[in-house]
Amino acid sequence: MKKVLIVDDSPTERHFLGELLSKAGYQVLTAESGEEAVGKVKEIMPDLILMDVVMPGMNGFQATRQISRDEVTKHIPIIMCTSKNQETDMVWGKRQGAVEYIVKPVDPQELFNKIAAL
């Protein structure tokens, strides 16, 4: 698992996660919105997607549902990385196709543990 797509509308979050993963040897690609992620995913075929939820336009739940239900991209694991910390959000995220759910601020060790478990 080497190519990771980070989807987040926050430049700070994209930079933080990007640096973290780059230093660990991952190739990092980014998208600023759900729409951009859905458009890019078939083109770049990442090994993993880190998906924010709260974004303008298509939110992370909608983008996750679209990617995880497409025959071409449904095998790509999606980890939701979001500030939405309610149990209902976690359940809903997994129902949309996410394999894991991490609440921001992201704990680097938790993230790497979840990636390693995939």
Expressed in percent and rounded to 5, the helix, strand and coil fractions of the chain are 45, 20, 35
Of residues 54, 51, 57, 114, the one with CA closest to residue 80: 51
CA separation for the pair 101, 111 (Å, rounded): 10
Distance CA 113, CA 97 (A): 19
Q: What is the pLDDT of residue 1?
A: 67
Q: What is the pLDDT, as a whole number, of residue 42? A: 94
The single-letter DSSP state of residue 88 is: H
18 and 49 in contact (C-beta within 8 Å)?
A: no
Give the pLDDT means over successive 10-residue stretches in the chain (118 positions): 94 97 97 97 97 96 97 97 93 96 96 95
Cis before 105 (ω within 30): yes
pTM of the model: 0.96
The C-alpha atoms of residue 74 and residue 70 are separated, in whole angstroms, by 5
